[in-house]
């Protein structure tokens, strides 16, 4: 298991959220696989130089969202991710990105067709069908 988490104190995003988002990403892109053992809360806090409460909150969020399971006395492990859960998480990210794009497009006084044209260009540039 390779877990690399970068924390930014100036990002405006709470540290526990930075930790949980990066761990989610590692799980979704399969850098962390089902059953992989995660560092203890104390070890994670020490490695990242954050409080134990911050590391605990990140793990609590991840467990509540179904990304990890904790076995008392054994530690925390990557949960078996339900493909429907993964799809819902990704759809939510797409919706958030589209919402931000639409807001920016309106500020730029773009038309819907101009926005769709940009989406088409990006889609084709990514090599998708």
pLDDT digits (tens, 9 = 90+) for 96-129: 999 999 999 999 999 999 999 999 999 988 755 5
The tokens describing 127, both together, are 């090599």
CA distances from 117 to 13, 93, 111, 122 (A): 32, 21, 10, 9
- Report the chain's terminal Cα–Cα distance, integer Å: 33
Backbone region of residue 127 per phi and psi (left: phi > 0; alpha: psi in -120 to 50; beta: other values): left
Compute the distance between CA of residue 84 and CA of residue 113 in angstroms, rounded to an integer.
31
Q: Domain extents for the chain? A: 15-78, 83-125
Q: Of the CATH numbers 1.10.10.10, 3.40.50.1820, 1.10.10.60, 3.20.20.70, which one belongs to the domain with range 15-78? A: 1.10.10.10
pLDDT in tens, 26-74: 988 889 999 999 999 999 999 999 999 999 999 999 998 889 999 988 9
């Amino acid at each position: 298991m390779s877990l690399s988490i970068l924390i930014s104190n100036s990002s405006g995003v709470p540290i526990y959220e930075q930790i949980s988002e990066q761990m989610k990403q590692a799980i979704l892109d399969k850098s962390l696989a089902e059953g992989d053992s995660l560092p203890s809360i104390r070890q994670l806090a020490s490695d990242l130089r954050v409080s134990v409460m911050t590391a605990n909150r990140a793990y609590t969020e991840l467990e509540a969202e179904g990304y990890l399971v904790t076995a008392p006395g054994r530690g925390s492990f990557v949960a078996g991710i339900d493909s429907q859960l993964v799809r819902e998480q990704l759809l939510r990210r797409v919706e958030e990105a589209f919402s931000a794009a639409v807001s920016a497009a309106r500020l730029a006084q773009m038309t819907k067709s101009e926005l769709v044209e940009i989406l088409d260009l990006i889609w084709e540039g990514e090599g998708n069908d």
